Amino acid sequence: RVPMDSRSPQAGPGIVSTSAPVAAAAAALMAPLWASAVASLWPLVAGGVPSLRTEVVLSHYNEDYSWLGNWTGRKNVAWTLYSKADEIPYISGVNSLPLSNVGRESHTYLHHIVHNYDKLADWTVFSQAVAPSWGYLIGGSASGHLNDKVSFEDYLQPFPEGRDTKFVMTASSQFPSGAQSTRLGIVKQGLPQEGGDFCPKQGADGW
């Protein structure tokens, strides 16, 4: 999950971001996997299982990872950090692993899936290793990639209290043109609270 130039820091437009060719291929490959995951997880939740095993997979290059000290140690949440830095960070409560400095964060995520396919957690959260916070600043290392009124905690709870999982889309792209629409909440704070099953609530006007 290094930048376009694998020798410098990476940047991306969302919690999970990737290049156009990889995004197109990933969409085709992951659709049946996602359907299978929902089919296998939902009976567990509906059956009253109190919690599912969650793993957070972080893609690291040179980000400040000190924020992890406030998150590790949570029940049923494991943390794995793949680092493409010259020196691998060792953090209490985090499984830190070295990875060759090639590709971007999508390379890290796919590496984890392929090498752990038969032992994946019930719920896996993929993220860049920057501290999760509001907003996306193009090229800025402080971009936390979270939409307004959304917390990182929201992503760590699969099917909270039996409800559907919360997954906030922050950008949409059209290919092959590469045109992208960004959700207002990732570039502007203080927007009215939204609710309901349709997201964004305003439809196309919410982007």
Distance CA 71, CA 79 (A): 9
Q: Are 47 and 116 in contact (CB under 8 A)?
A: no
- Of 72-81, 156-165, 176-185, which has the strongest mean pLDDT? 72-81
The number of angstroms, rounded, from the C-alpha of 70 to the middle of its chain's C-alpha atoms is: 18
Alpha-carbon torsion (56, 183, 110, 133), positive or negative = negative
Q: Tell which residue, 30, 50, 47, 48, has the closest CA to residue 120.
A: 30
Burial class (CB in 10 A: 0-12, 13-18, 19+), 87: exposed
31-37: average pLDDT: 47
The pLDDT assigned to 159 comes to 85
Cis check: omega of the bond before 192, within 30 degrees of 0: no
SS3 207: coil
- The DSSP secondary-structure symbol of 70 reads G
The pLDDT assigned to 172 comes to 83
- The DSSP secondary-structure symbol of 160 reads G
Q: Is the pLDDT of residue 156 over 50?
A: yes
SS3 146: strand
The pLDDT assigned to 48 comes to 45
Indicate the pairing of strand 77-83 with strand 179-182: unpaired
pLDDT, tens digit, for every residue of 109-138? 999 999 999 999 999 999 999 999 988 876
> pLDDT band for position 199 (50/70/90)?
low
Record the tokens describing residue 203, joined without a space: 């439809």
Q: Are 50 and 61 in contact (CB under 8 A)?
A: no
Q: Tell which residue, 75, 68, 104, has the closest CA to residue 89.
A: 68
**What angle, rounded to 10 degrees, do the helices at 20-46 and 105-115 form?**
50
Distance CA 189, CA 204 (A): 19
Q: Tell which residue, 201, 9, 17, has the closest CA to residue 109.
A: 17
Report the predicted TM-score, pTM, of the whole model to 2 decimal places.
0.70
Q: Are 154 and 166 in contact (CB under 8 A)?
A: yes
